[in-house]
C-alpha cells in the first residue's frame, strides 16, 4: 500500500473560486485578498491580517515593521525550519538560539532570561508541530525586559493553550500556507496583529514601500503613489487568496480528522519501548500539523528508509538547525551547544498526517512502525 506523506484538501469549490478569479480582470492583490484577510482576522479574533507570499516573508516583514535590524538580537529555537532563523538574518539581525523542552520540543522558557543581553529586542517562539509554546511565561519575560514577541505560527493556526489563542499575546504572528500546511495555496503566508500602526506599515512593506496598491490606483480616478519607506515584493495575490477562502471555512473539519489520526498514533505507541513521541500537554489544543515519533538515534535513518521501502511517505522535521553547515560556520555552533534539540533532531521521524488519510492507511503506518522498529 502506498501512503503519501501529505495530500492537500483542495475541493472543487476551491478550484471554482480560483477559476472565478482567473476569469476576472484582477489577478494581483485586490478585493479577494482583502476578503481573505478579513475572514482570517475574524477566525483568529485579530483586528488586522496582511496577506503575503510566505511565512518567511511574514517573519521578515514583522521584524522590519518592529524596527529590528543590524546590531539587534532575536532569541529563538534551533528546533524549527530554517525559515525562522533565516528571516532574522534577512532583517540584518542576529539569531540567538536557546534549547528546547524534551517533552514538547518547544523553546524552553526557563532558559530565555539568561540569553537576554543589551542587544536583545525580540523573542521569536515557534509552535512546533502545532502545539503552542508557554506564551504566558514568554509574555511575562518580554514585558519585564521590554522585548517584542513575534510568533512563528506556521504550524499552529488552530492552536490554543491555557485559554490563550495563537498570536494573542504577541505584536505579530506569522502563518504559512505552504504546500503541506493545514490550509494551503501552494505558497503563501499571512501576518496577524492587533496593532493598527504595524498593520499599515506591513501593507507598505509588502509592496516596495508604495503608498498605494494596484487596486487603489486602478479603481478610482488615477492617483499618483509615493515610495515612503523601503520595502519588498511580498504581496499575496487574488489567486492565492481565492484558494484559501473556503479552506478556512472548513479548517475545523480538517483539524478534527487530524486529531483523530493523532489519537490513533498516540494510542498505538504509548506502551511501545522503541517508539516515543512529543507530548501534547493537558491544557493545550495542538493544531496537529505534524505527528512525529522519536526512535533511537543510531537506527533513525535505517527506520526512515525501511518505512519508505514499504511505500510510506516520511520526513524529518527537524534536524536541529544550529548544526547545519551555514549556522556552524557563521555563528560557531557545535554539537553539544543545544543537547535537547540535538537529541530530538537525531531521533525524529514525521509520519503521514492529513485529513484525507484513511483509517486503513493509518493502520498500515502503525503496523509498519511497530515491525520496523522491533527489528532495527
Ligand X SMILES: Cc1ncc(COP(=O)(O)O)c(C=O)c1O
Q: State the residues that interact with ligand X by CB under 6 A.
A: 54-56, 80-81, 83-84, 126, 152, 154-155, 176, 178, 189
Between residues 55 and 366, which has the closer beta carbon with respect to ligand X?
Answer: 55
Shortest Å, Cβ 27 to ligand X: 20
3-class secondary-structure state, position 324 = coil
Shortest Å, Cβ 294 to ligand X: 18
Shortest Å, Cβ 289 to ligand X: 8
Between residues 59 and 366, which has the closer beta carbon with respect to ligand X?
Answer: 59
Shortest Å, Cβ 128 to ligand X: 7
Measured CA to CA, the distance from residue 126 to residue 108 in angstroms comes to 11
Between residues 92 and 186, which has the closer beta carbon with respect to ligand X?
Answer: 186
Measured CA to CA, the distance from residue 215 to residue 207 in angstroms comes to 12
Phi, psi angle pair for 50, to nearest 5°: -120, 115
Shortest Å, Cβ 82 to ligand X: 8
Question: Which residue(s) pair with 160 in the sheet?
Answer: 165, 285
Phi, psi angle pair for 97, to nearest 5°: -85, 150
Shortest Å, Cβ 81 to ligand X: 4
Measured CA to CA, the distance from residue 219 to residue 227 in angstroms comes to 20
Question: Which residue(s) pair with 256 in the sheet?
Answer: none
Measured CA to CA, the distance from residue 114 to residue 111 in angstroms comes to 6
Question: Do residues 91 and 71 touch, judged by C-beta distance below 8 A?
Answer: no
Contacts of 65 (CB under 8 A, 6+ apart): 172, 198, 201, 202, 205
Shortest Å, Cβ 178 to ligand X: 4
Between residues 83 and 91, which has the closer beta carbon with respect to ligand X?
Answer: 83
Between residues 189 and 366, which has the closer beta carbon with respect to ligand X?
Answer: 189
- Written as one string, the DSSP assignment of 278-311 is PPPPTTEE-----EEEE--GGGHHHHHHHHHHTT
- CA-CA distances (angstroms) from residue 245 to 114, 183, 187, 259, 277? 43, 10, 15, 22, 33
Between residues 40 and 178, which has the closer beta carbon with respect to ligand X?
Answer: 178
Between residues 153 and 207, which has the closer beta carbon with respect to ligand X?
Answer: 153
Shortest Å, Cβ 374 to ligand X: 31
Task: Give me the helices (H) in the chain, please.
Answer: 12-22, 31-44, 55-65, 82-90, 112-115, 135-144, 196-205, 214-219, 238-249, 251-269, 300-309, 325-331, 339-347, 359-375
Between residues 84 and 193, which has the closer beta carbon with respect to ligand X?
Answer: 84
Amino acid at each position: 500500500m502506498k501512503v503519501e506523506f501529505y495530500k492537500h484538501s483542495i475541493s472543487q469549490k476551491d478550484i471554482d473560486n480560483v477559476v472565478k478569479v482567473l476569469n476576472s480582470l484582477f489577478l494581483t492583490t485586490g478585493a479577494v485578498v482583502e476578503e481573505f484577510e478579513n475572514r482570517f482576522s475574524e477566525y483568529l479574533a485579530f483586528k488586522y491580517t496582511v496577506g503575503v507570499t510566505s511565512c518567511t516573508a511574514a517573519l521578515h516583514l514583522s521584524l522590519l515593521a518592529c524596527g529590528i535590524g543590524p546590531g539587534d538580537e532575536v532569541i529563538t529555537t534551533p528546533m524549527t525550519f530554517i525559515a525562522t532563523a533565516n528571516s532574522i538574518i534577512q532583517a540584518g539581525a542576529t539569531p540567538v538560539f536557546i534549547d528546547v523542552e524534551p517533552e514538547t520540543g518547544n523553546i524552553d522558557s526557563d532558559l530565555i532570561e539568561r540569553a537576554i543581553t543589551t542587544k536583545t529586542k525580540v523573542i521569536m517562539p515557534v509552535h512546533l508541530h502545532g502545539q503552542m509554546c508557554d506564551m504566558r511565561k514568554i509574555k511575562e519575560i518580554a514585558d519585564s525586559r521590554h522585548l517584542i514577541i513575534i510568533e512563528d505560527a506556521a504550524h499552529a493556526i488552530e492552536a490554543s493553550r491555557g485559554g490563550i489563542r495563537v498570536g494573542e499575546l504577541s505584536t505579530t504572528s506569522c502563518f504559512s500556507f505552504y504546500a503541506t500546511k493545514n490550509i494551503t495555496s501552494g505558497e503563501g503566508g499571512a501576518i496577524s496583529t492587533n496593532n493598527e500602526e504595524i498593520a499599515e506599515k506591513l501593507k507598505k512593506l509588502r509592496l516596495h514601500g508604495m503608498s498605494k496598491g494596484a487596486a487603489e490606483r486602478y479603481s478610482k480616478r488615477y492617483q499618483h503613489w509615493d515610495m515612503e519607506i523601503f520595502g519588498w515584493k511580498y504581496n499575496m495575490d487574488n489567486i492565492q487568496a481565492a484558494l484559501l477562502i473556503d479552506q478556512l471555512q472548513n479548517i475545523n473539519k480538517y483539524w478534527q480528522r487530524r486529531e483523530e489520526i493523532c489519537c490513533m498514533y498516540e494510542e498505538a505507541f504509548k506502551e511501545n519501548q522503541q517508539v516515543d513521541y512529543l507530548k501534547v500537554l493537558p491544557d493545550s489544543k495542538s493544531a496537529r500539523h505534524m505527528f512525529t515519533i522519536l526512535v533511537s538515534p543510531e537506527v533513525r535513518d535505517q527506520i526512515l528508509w525501511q518505512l519508505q521501502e514499504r511505500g510510506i511517505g516520511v520526513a524529518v522535521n527537524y534536524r536541529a538547525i544550529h548544526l547545519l553547515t551555514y549556522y556552524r560556520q557563521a555563528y560557531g555552533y557545535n554539537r553539544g551547544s543545544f543537547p535537547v534539540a540535538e537529541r530530538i533532531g537525531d531521533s525524529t521521524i514525521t509520519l503521514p498526517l492529513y485529513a484525507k488519510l484513511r483509517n486503513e492507511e493509518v493502520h498500515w503506518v502503525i503496523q509498519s512502525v511497530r515491525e520496523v522498529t522491533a527489528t532495527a
